[in-house]
Amino acid sequence: MGYGVVVQEGHRMRAGQYGTLTTESRRPLEQRLAEIFGKVQEVLRKTRPQAAAMEELFFSRNAKTAIAVGQARGVALLACGLAGLPVYEYRPMEVKQAVAGYGGADKPQVQKMVKLLLGLAEVPRPDDTADALAIAITHAQCAGTRLSEMVRRLSKPIPPLPSPLKGG
């Protein structure tokens, strides 16, 4: 799972912390999801973002992959919710349009624009990291617009989690 922080300074953007969160594929799913949850929480503690942005979930031809992505995305959403962060979602076409100027741009075009827009020496690797930075760029460009403010106002805060039951 890629993550990327974009720092906006006036009309310019620069890359903050970015990378990829990985788990050992041989471990049981519940342990891998717990590990992803902990890693997302750690990134949020270190970077202290004002908001989170994610790619809108899409349906893959491979149902097993789609379910795995959905589960990992779910624990990332939970971590953001517990941190009190508003989460914004963007469709792949919106990300391509915002970053490359064309909704039908291919992955290499978007990656090259991420590099240029953030002044990086090279395209971030792996692809998940470059994708995360592209989503962060998209949000940085949309933040403060009437649409993003409307989404924020319409978002309902997540209520605190109930205390664990005592006794049993």
**pLDDT given for residue 57 in this prediction:** 77
How far apart CA 140 and CA 143 sit, in angstroms, is: 5
**pLDDT given for residue 9 in this prediction:** 84
**pLDDT given for residue 168 in this prediction:** 47
Regarding beta strands 12-20 and 2-9, do their DSSP bridges make them parallel or antiparallel, or are they unpaired? antiparallel
**pLDDT given for residue 93 in this prediction:** 92
Q: What domains sit in the chain, N to C, each tagged with a CATH number?
A: 2-154 (3.30.420.10)
pLDDT tens over the chain, length 168 residues: 999 999 988 888 999 999 999 999 999 999 999 999 999 999 999 999 999 999 987 766 777 777 878 899 999 999 999 999 999 999 999 999 999 998 899 999 999 999 999 999 999 999 999 999 999 999 998 876 555 555 545 544 555 566 566 554
**pLDDT given for residue 79 in this prediction:** 97
**pLDDT given for residue 59 in this prediction:** 63
Three-state SS for 62-94 is CHHHHHHHHHHHHHHHHHHHHCCCCEEEECHHH
User: Phi first, then psi: what are they for 158, rounded to 5°?
Assistant: -80, 125
Nearest of 81, 112, 84, 80 to residue 96 by alpha carbon:
112
Asked whether 39 and 72 are in contact (CB, 8 A), the reply is no
Asked whether 89 and 55 are in contact (CB, 8 A), the reply is yes
